[in-house]
Structure 1
Amino acid sequence: MSDPEPKKTKVEVIKEASCGLRGSIADELADAATDHVADATTKLLKFHGTYQQDDRDLRTPRRKEGLGKAYSFMVRNRIPGGKITATQFLGELDIADELGNGTIRITTRQSIQLHGVVKANLWSTIHRINEIKLSTQSACGDVTRNVCCCPAPLRQNGLRDRLQEIADEIAVHVRPKTQAYHEIWIKDPQSGERQQVVGPPDEPEPDPIYGKAYLPRKFKIGLALSDDNCIDVYDNDLGLLGVTSGDELVGFNVLVGGGMGTTPSKKNCFPALAHRLTFVTPDQLLPIITAIILVQRDFGNRADRSQARMKYLIHNLGLAAFKAKVESYLSEAESICGVADGSLPRPLPAPNPVDVTRHDDHMGWHAQGDGKFFLGLPIENGRVKDDGPLRLKTALRKLFTDHVSNARLTAQQNILLCDLEEDQRDTIQQLLAEHGVVTVDQISNARRFAFACPALPTCGLAITESERVLPTVIGAVEAELSLLGLADEQFTIRMTGCPNGCARPYNADIGLVGRSADGKTGEGRYTLFIGGNLLGTRMNKVFKDQVPMSRIVDELRPVLVHFKQHRTAGESLGDYCNRVGVEALLQLDQET
């Protein structure tokens, strides 16, 4: 009697039957009679870099008019390490103006999202992104997402350039082998047709890393240096922390099992920081990455998507057992990578003692080390738009047209303008001032280190506001800090409109996570977390739940007062909260 078929989610069945992520995407795009696609197709489109959404602000008025949802698509780029040329950035602005909602958004994974793309414009949007030599393939979906890496073009010792090269190598290595993306989105120049050049094959192309069903859930990889954890390396499924000796990159500590998403109603769901697994040399990197992905592919939970991230596999197995499974897959991984069997040691060694010691957001003017400069420019919540006196989009268009050749996007949703000459500084500063664009020396630290997810009105998972209200929350926090003489303190405030954690709230000094909304006023209520750190190496803890947005600062005030009074020399807000503990801070609140 044969074993019963393992239980699978609906998404798993869709992936397996998709013939290499093709499904009926091409046919549904060609159907001009509808403004949206079927549910199964939305699952496959994620692998191609796009989510179907609707404007939730319009749901009620449209329902009253007897209309359906106002559908549109979010389109996300894959930009390893956040590297982008002036031509590409200008191209993104043009596409947003002509085919989207006129704005672009820098993401927390060094990429760009376009919003408000209607179905009739979806093919043209993704096609044009490829024409400017960018891509949306694997920017979403159950595969390896955009590979993150320190974006700073600091060239004094070549370490960061080497990290960027490795990030590019990894991105190529983990890209799915299916030709579906090219067939659907990149037209044949000879035929001039936008439809598939050839019909789908009978079977999908063999993919030694992903197989037919790809991964159980999304998979994130990031690279950092110990003295510059600007990408939150411990938040990734697979973090690679560079170990150096002088100016030489000698290898990486491999970190596994990070992930910010959770479902509060399920006790077995939780956010997590990665575990330190092993140390490898640069030439051993692709095989170890491959082996880890293969273990997640074959043992990750495909019956329950809320338990499908690799952090849960490691939690259930234990780190030692997970490491043993990785070791058992090394030969297969070495074969896939084309290296000699046994190139990685068995058993895998312990991690190097090196760990994260510093965070740098790279804002302001910096010498690159090659005679040129870069300018780190803060962009509130990553949204590039013109809004009243702030004409950020116009300013960046002028800069990239006349003064800047290339840039880097950061994991804090900011931008680094690169390869600038010293005699350009005054011109650039004047242009920014004329367009109302502030530089880092003109904003508070509270605003500098804060960011939010998009949330409403486009994200289908959002429970509360995030991007649209965080500036108001920060304004209230700024006022309180100023009264207390704490305006110079550096700490992170991160807000999300739901528990999925896109803005990495669970290791911030202060995390604000959307919990519910008042049925009458619509005011959001948030879970308030405290005790993380700027380094990104410590999880925070729940301080208070169901806090109305209007009371966030009221609830934080006693903590800030006691922080000022009882901190030790040089102690940060997150360190203080972690040392004192939530229970003691709640008691202080009652005594205030």
Structure 2
Amino acid sequence: MEIIEPNSVTVAEQSHQDSFIQPTVYDPSTHTDVERIKVESEYLRGTITPSLKNPLTGAVADDDLMLIKFHGIYQQDDRDIRNERRKQKLEPLYSFMIRARVPGGVATAAQYLQMAELATQYSSGSLRLTTRQAFQWHGVFKRNLKTTIAGINKSMLDTIAACGDVNRNVMSNPLPETSAIHAEVYEWAQKISEHLLPQTKAYHEIWLDGEKVESSEVEPAKEGPQGQGFKEPIYGKTYLPRKFKTALAIPPYNDVDVFANDLGFIAIVENEQLVGFNVTVGGGMGSSHGDESTYPRVADVIGFCSLDQVLTVAENVVKVQRDFGNREVRKLARLKYTIDRLGLAGFKEKLFAYQGFELAEARAFEFKHNGDRYGWYQDEVGNWHLTLYIHSGRIADFDDKLLFTGLKEIAKVHQGEFRISPNQNLIISNVTRQTKPVIEALINRYGISIGEVESPVRKNSLACVAFPTCSLAMAEAERYLPSFIDKFEELLAKYDLSEQAINIRMTGCPNGCARPFLGEIGLVGKAPGKYNLYLGASHIGSRLNKLYRENINEAQILSELEPIIQDYANAKNEDEYFGDFVIRKGYIKAVQNGLDFHS
């Protein structure tokens, strides 16, 4: 057996470890096979390099399927043609999804242009914006992986820790009203992202042939050859038990869905100055159909930290999860389950011992908004920002809208940033007065939407990728959501509710990539054409929804919703959101915490 490395244990951590439950011990007889793969990987190297060179298959070796996630890559295949290829005795048409790490979702126009060029040359010809403010490429063949990743790094972005059992892309509000505060909070998103990066040199060795390029990867450790004295200072040899997500929010906007994250920082602004953050822990959306030991959970607010404490708090929340997370049952390995197993008070006690101080009492805040603000907006220094509507984050050319082509042309003339919103939209940010009319002309020329014609419900909808590329999908999501909304809009119009904002979240499975359990209406795939219907989440992302009807098709979903929509039209209070209404009228019980989700 092998104990997870102490990772520069502080005096407070050592005292804690002597007084409480000891940190997890790696035991191959009880721990998941993923733990073995990480232990044997030589800090995320595995056999990725020979896998890439194997000409006999478009796939990588089985153990490397897990390891490539730490490098920002998932192996997929085209499920639309899987059966046909099987009949022809061919292996699945394997390709790879690559995800970039883009802290706070901010990229320069030059970086965006490079991302689009890579999509044209090596992937499906489209870019996808994720709900965690990152870029994704789908359909990259194995032979093009290294070239694509090298191209991403040349733009000073990278794919390190975009996936895998580590802290992933750190989210931040893309466009609050006060740009000075936003800039400061965004800087903290960058600092947290950099601080929590794995320090293994495996990424450079595998994808960049050991060469140091202009990118945001941390400098290699100086202890000597890795495997001979090298230690991951935060993660240890087995990294985290499961993925870890972090977000920063600036009230009154909760567009990052901060309560859906393992770790959250809610900005506290006093006298127009950022003074610190309220800290939240234990959010997560993943669940499993038919398994009540799994559940989504909204995070708890556990206190306030000053600015000089932020990185210490972030690091030690990760360390507590590293040492006490469940490594025997992977589906119970997220921080939310660690907290519920230890109890919130027990978790806080361990955290405060690890970091050497207690958090101050949480300060007052209020969220009022969860979505994006579309169209043009001018900030206090005179720059313009344009929020575009992009269905499910898919940037591609369509018959009536040349979105992919148009955005490339805009990137050629724009000198500011392209900011990805947590709602899968794109903000052309910091547009000068001189450039604004040029960009407006390009928007009109290529038919790019700025949210002027879409209904509020369409603009408040999210969907995951699902078919044809996601191996976990049980039902359609991205490809189906537009037609479902067409029918739902007809229902709203019937009862004079066309201007009512209702957020709909649709996913092809219960893993939660589009945060379906925070949708006022959540549709979670159960089988082709069948979904579980969830109702009752808070419109501002602070309360989970709950199962209302199980395994029903489109006609049944609309039939179940119509009498509730009719009642909502007739009996809702002024400014009452749909999620609050169904709780007040007793259609569904409010979920106070994740442990109530199945009750």
Normalising to structure 1: TM-score of the pair?
A: 0.91
| Alpha-carbon distance in structure 2 between the residues aligned to 1:247 and 1:323 | 30
Q: Which of 520, 524, 533 pairs up with 1:528?
A: 533
CA contact (8 A) 1:52 1:73 kept: yes
Is 1:57 paired with 2:55?
no
| Alpha-carbon distance in structure 2 between the residues aligned to 1:564 and 1:425 | 40
Q: CA deviation at 1:32?
A: 2.5
CA contact (8 A) 1:204 1:212 kept: no
| Alpha-carbon distance in structure 1 between the residues aligned to 2:589 and 2:135 | 42
Q: Which of 411, 433, 444 pairs up with 2:455?
A: 444
* 2:349 match: 324
Is 1:250 paired with 2:272?
no
CA contact (8 A) 1:7 1:303 kept: yes
Report SS of the residue matched to 2:81. helix
| Alpha-carbon distance in structure 1 between the residues aligned to 2:416 and 2:188 | 23
Q: CA deviation at 1:427?
A: 3.6
CA contact (8 A) 2:535 2:588 kept: no
Alignment of 1:320-359 (within 5 A): 320-331=345-356, 345-346=357-358, 348-359=359-370
Alignment of 1:3-18 (within 5 A): 5=27, 7-18=30-41
Name the amino acid aligned to 2:518.
Answer: N
* 2:114 match: 91
* 1:480 match: 491
Q: Which of 142, 161, 171 pairs up with 2:193?
A: 171
Q: CA deviation at 1:321?
A: 0.5
* 2:316 match: 291
Q: CA deviation at 1:31?
A: 2.1
* 1:300 match: 325
CA contact (8 A) 1:527 1:544 kept: yes
| Alpha-carbon distance in structure 2 between the residues aligned to 1:318 and 1:161 | 36
* 1:412 match: 423
Q: Which of 25, 43, 68 pairs up with 2:48?
A: 25
Is 1:112 paired with 2:112?
no
Per-residue Cα deviation, 1:346-404 (whole angstroms, up to 9, x for no partner): 4x333223243433513211112211100011100000000111110011011111245
Name the amino acid aligned to 2:104.
Answer: G
* 2:388 match: 377
| Alpha-carbon distance in structure 2 between the residues aligned to 1:433 and 1:134 | 30
* 1:396 match: 407
* 2:202 match: 180
| Alpha-carbon distance in structure 2 between the residues aligned to 1:507 and 1:204 | 45
* 1:133 match: 156
Name the amino acid aligned to 1:166.
Answer: W
| Alpha-carbon distance in structure 2 between the residues aligned to 1:122 and 1:270 | 35
* 1:455 match: 466
* 1:590 match: none
Q: CA deviation at 1:425?
A: 3.9
Q: CA deviation at 1:421?
A: 2.5
Select between 439-448 and 395-404 the one with higher mean Cα deviation.
395-404
Unpaired segments of 5 or more residues in structure 2? 3-24, 214-219, 591-599
Q: Which of 232, 238, 242 pairs up with 2:257?
A: 232
Name the amino acid aligned to 1:208.
Answer: P
CA contact (8 A) 1:12 1:302 kept: yes
Report SS of the residue matched to 2:500. coil
CA contact (8 A) 2:507 2:514 kept: yes
Query: Are the structure 2 counterparts of residues 424 and 487 from structure 1 closer, same or farther at C-alpha, using a change threshold of 3 Å?
Result: farther
* 2:575 match: 570
Name the amino acid aligned to 2:204.
Answer: H
Query: Are the structure 2 counterparts of residues 202 and 316 from structure 1 closer, same or farther at C-alpha, using a change threshold of 3 Å?
Result: closer
Alignment of 1:43-54 (within 5 A): 43-54=66-77
* 2:90 match: 67
Q: Which of 546, 555, 565 pairs up with 2:551?
A: 546
| Alpha-carbon distance in structure 2 between the residues aligned to 1:188 and 1:238 | 33
| Alpha-carbon distance in structure 2 between the residues aligned to 1:444 and 1:31 | 50
| Alpha-carbon distance in structure 1 between the residues aligned to 2:212 and 2:138 | 31
Is 1:241 paired with 2:266?
yes
Q: CA deviation at 1:65?
A: 1.4
Report SS of the residue matched to 2:531. strand
CA contact (8 A) 2:176 2:250 kept: no
Per-residue Cα deviation, 1:398-422 (whole angstroms, up to 9, x for no partner): 1111245321101000011011123
Q: CA deviation at 1:189?
A: 5.9
CA contact (8 A) 1:279 1:349 kept: yes
Name the amino acid aligned to 1:274.
Answer: A
| Alpha-carbon distance in structure 2 between the residues aligned to 1:190 and 1:155 | 37
Is 1:124 paired with 2:147?
yes
Per-residue Cα deviation, 1:76-111 (whole angstroms, up to 9, x for no partner): 000000011111111111111111111110000000
Name the amino acid aligned to 2:576.
Answer: E
| Alpha-carbon distance in structure 2 between the residues aligned to 1:527 and 1:72 | 30
CA contact (8 A) 2:125 2:396 kept: yes
CA contact (8 A) 2:385 2:427 kept: yes
Query: Are the structure 2 counterparts of residues 212 and 462 from structure 1 closer, same or farther at C-alpha, using a change threshold of 3 Å?
Result: same
Report SS of the residue matched to 2:542. coil
Select between 567-576 and 109-118 the one with higher mean Cα deviation.
567-576
Is 1:210 paired with 2:235?
yes
Alignment of 1:491-510 (within 5 A): 491-510=502-521
* 1:363 match: 374
Normalising to structure 2: TM-score of the pair?
A: 0.90
Q: CA deviation at 1:249?
A: 0.9
Q: Which of 238, 246, 270 pairs up with 1:221?
A: 246
Q: CA deviation at 1:67?
A: 1.2
Name the amino acid aligned to 2:76.
Answer: Q
Q: Which of 509, 514, 527 pairs up with 1:516?
A: 527
Report SS of the residue matched to 1:219. coil
| Alpha-carbon distance in structure 1 between the residues aligned to 2:146 and 2:277 | 40
Report SS of the residue matched to 1:239. strand
| Alpha-carbon distance in structure 1 between the residues aligned to 2:589 and 2:314 | 43
CA contact (8 A) 1:154 1:367 kept: no
Q: Which of 566, 572, 576 pairs up with 1:561?
A: 566
* 1:520 match: none
* 1:340 match: none
Report SS of the residue matched to 1:43. helix
Alignment of 1:130-169 (within 5 A): 130-152=153-175, 154-155=177-178, 158-169=180-191
CA contact (8 A) 2:371 2:460 kept: no
* 2:291 match: 266
Q: CA deviation at 1:423?
A: 4.8
| Alpha-carbon distance in structure 2 between the residues aligned to 1:190 and 1:455 | 36
Is 1:35 paired with 2:64?
no
Q: Which of 326, 329, 338 pairs up with 1:313?
A: 338
Unpaired segments of 5 or more residues in structure 1? 192-196, 332-344, 518-523, 586-592
| Alpha-carbon distance in structure 1 between the residues aligned to 2:212 and 2:421 | 38
Per-residue Cα deviation, 1:284-307 (whole angstroms, up to 9, x for no partner): 111111111111000000000110
Select between 41-50 and 568-577 the one with higher mean Cα deviation.
568-577
| Alpha-carbon distance in structure 1 between the residues aligned to 2:585 and 2:532 | 20
CA contact (8 A) 2:146 2:207 kept: yes
| Alpha-carbon distance in structure 2 between the residues aligned to 1:573 and 1:154 | 26
| Alpha-carbon distance in structure 2 between the residues aligned to 1:37 and 1:73 | 10
| Alpha-carbon distance in structure 2 between the residues aligned to 1:98 and 1:200 | 36
| Alpha-carbon distance in structure 2 between the residues aligned to 1:134 and 1:10 | 31
Per-residue Cα deviation, 1:559-588 (whole angstroms, up to 9, x for no partner): 100001111122111110121222599xxx
